[in-house]
């Protein structure tokens, strides 16, 4: 798509928003209803596209993508009238007599840029929030998942007026052309490196952004943990989408007393979950492209492999590979792995594990396995991260009742459920003032010396 065509879509979207079509809540609800109708009718197309792009089984695609999207749609349709109502707040003493309310207004024309690893949910969940909040949107799916991008483009074209929501397919040239345009809000999901460039472009127009990024999400396993259950849930988190998950367990910090037990339990669980090459080809998925496949294989070179290490060049599939005590200076510990490789490092204490995590950029997720409530309170209180689980992995993302997002290098802003609506909404405080009394003391000329004022008059 040319830069001229993209500019035309931007102008059409802004004109449609300025005409006021999206301000009516009932109109937004009808738009969401159309999206759900088309989604349910074309659901099979999405399953086929995800299998074609990433080798995702229908079971995994339903659990990690389409089911989450339909859940968000159901919630938005059920709660939108409540979310969009003006909210009453108590006025300050200086505002009396009067009433204070917070009005919810859409930003305008928003840009949603999504990645390839979960191309359905990471495109449509932000879009649902943007539409519910009353915005117009341009949606840019990833070119690395072309079949899913095409399927999403078809669904959106049928569900929405193109002036309301339009899809821009393509690669870097289209991304660059979009970022040259002025938007009222940008929602980006992807790498920290690209997120920085998005923020730089947005800064020229002072455009607010939500950045959903990534990072190295640690797992801490102390010596009170249920090791068998910890191994099963860590393996689940690493196998999902073959490790190509922004919140996947990236490395494990384990106490010396239970390290050998954890390694053996992980080997056992991985062999049970993936019982052979035929099962892997049918159900586990594959690395998205050759470049990423070669990069992940390179992370294993020169490392001590405890389990796995086998790769299938024909299918771009790899065993989940456990690495023993890699150096913190090695590439596998310096970059986000984003694949089926799991370094396991020994730490002498929970205190040292906390210090190791805090010494690095704030992660998108953290997973703690412990039965000690004091340890739990300490880790949650002392370590900053986007979100996470105690005694599990990944599942914190699955609830629309909990805001999801990063902090620091792992991102900014929150979405899912009500938090998504709020992300795409400007909260506008308005005071409606009564006529009387109209206190003379607030107006010039002042009658008393500077600094004199009845205590608390303008304080909240």
Active site residues: 212, 246
Task: Find out whether 127 and 421 touch, Cβ atoms under 8 Å.
Answer: no
Q: Strand pairing partners for 390?
A: 368
DSSP-based three-state secondary structure for 281: helix
Token pair recorded at residue 310? 């086998």
Tell me how many degrees the CA angle 411-181-118 measures, rounded to the nearest 5. 40
Candidates 228, 263, 236, 250; CA nearest to 346 is 263
Query: What is d(CA 129, CA 102) in angstroms, rounded to the nearest whole number?
Result: 19
| DSSP 8-class letter at 409 | G
Which helix (DSSP H) or strand (DSSP E) does residue 230 occupy? helix 227-239
Task: Find out whether 215 and 410 touch, Cβ atoms under 8 Å.
Answer: yes
Pairing between β-strand 218-221 and β-strand 251-254 as defined by DSSP bridges: parallel
User: Chain centroid to CA 188: how far?
Assistant: 9
Return phi, psi of residue 233, to 5°.
Answer: -80, -30
Helix count (H) and strand count (E) of the chain? 17, 18
Q: What is the torsion angle, in degrees rounded to the nearest 10, for the CA atoms of residue 234, residue 236, residue 237 and residue 241?
A: 150
Pairing between β-strand 311-312 and β-strand 317-318 as defined by DSSP bridges: antiparallel
Radius of gyration of the chain (CA): 25
User: Chain centroid to CA 186: how far?
Assistant: 13
């Amino acid at each position: 798509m040319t830069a001229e065509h993209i500019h035309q879509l931007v102008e059409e979207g802004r004109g449609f928003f300025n005409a006021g079509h999206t301000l009516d809540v009932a109109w937004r609800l009808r738009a969401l209803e159309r999206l759900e109708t088309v989604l349910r009718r074309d659901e099979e197309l999405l399953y086929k596209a995800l299998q074609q792009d990433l080798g995702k089984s229908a079971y995994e695609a339903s659990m990690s993508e389409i089911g989450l999207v339909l859940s968000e749609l159901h919630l938005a349709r059920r709660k939108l009238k409540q979310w969009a109502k003006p909210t009453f707040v108590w006025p300050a003493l200086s505002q009396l007599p009067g009433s204070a309310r917070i009005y919810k207004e859409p930003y305008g024309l928003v840009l949603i840029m999504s990645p390839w690893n979960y191309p359905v949910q990471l495109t449509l969940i932000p879009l649902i929030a943007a539409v519910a909040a009353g915005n117009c949107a341009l949606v840019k799916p990833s070119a690395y998942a072309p079949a899913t991008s095409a399927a999403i483009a078809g669904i959106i074209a049928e569900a929405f007026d193109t002036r309301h929501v339009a899809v821009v397919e393509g690669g870097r040239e289209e991304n660059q052309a979009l970022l040259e345009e002025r938007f009222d809000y940008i929602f980006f999901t992807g790498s920290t490196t690209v997120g920085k460039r998005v923020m730089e472009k947005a800064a020229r127009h002072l455009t607010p952004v939500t950045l959903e990024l990534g990072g190295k999400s640690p797992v801490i396993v102390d010596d009170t943990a249920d090791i068998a259950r910890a191994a099963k849930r860590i393996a689940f988190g690493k196998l999902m989408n073959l490790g190509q998950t922004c919140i996947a367990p990236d490395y494990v910090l384990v106490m010396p007393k239970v390290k050998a037990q954890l390694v053996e339990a992980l080997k056992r669980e991985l062999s049970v979950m993936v019982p052979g090459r035929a099962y892997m080809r049918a159900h586990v998925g594959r690395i998205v492209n050759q470049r990423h496949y070669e990069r992940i294989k390179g992370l294993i070179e020169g490392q001590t492999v405890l389990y796995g290490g086998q790769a299938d060049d024909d299918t771009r599939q790899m065993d989940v590979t456990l690495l023993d005590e890699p150096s913190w200076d090695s590439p596998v510990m310096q970059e986000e792995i984003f694949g089926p490789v799991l370094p396991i490092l020994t730490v002498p204490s929970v205190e040292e594990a906390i210090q190791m995590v805090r010494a690095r950029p704030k992660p998108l997720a953290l997973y703690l396995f412990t039965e000690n409530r004091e340890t739990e309170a300490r880790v949650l209180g002392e370590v900053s991260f986007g979100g996470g689980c105690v005694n599990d992995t990944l599942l914190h993302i699955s609830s629309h009742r909990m805001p999801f997002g990063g902090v620091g290098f792992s991102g900014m802003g929150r979405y899912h459920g009500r938090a998504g609506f709020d992300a795409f909404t400007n909260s506008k405080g308005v005071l409606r003032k009564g006529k009387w009394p109209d206190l003379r003391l607030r107006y010039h000329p002042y009658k008393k010396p500077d600094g004199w004022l009845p205590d608390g008059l303008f304080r909240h």
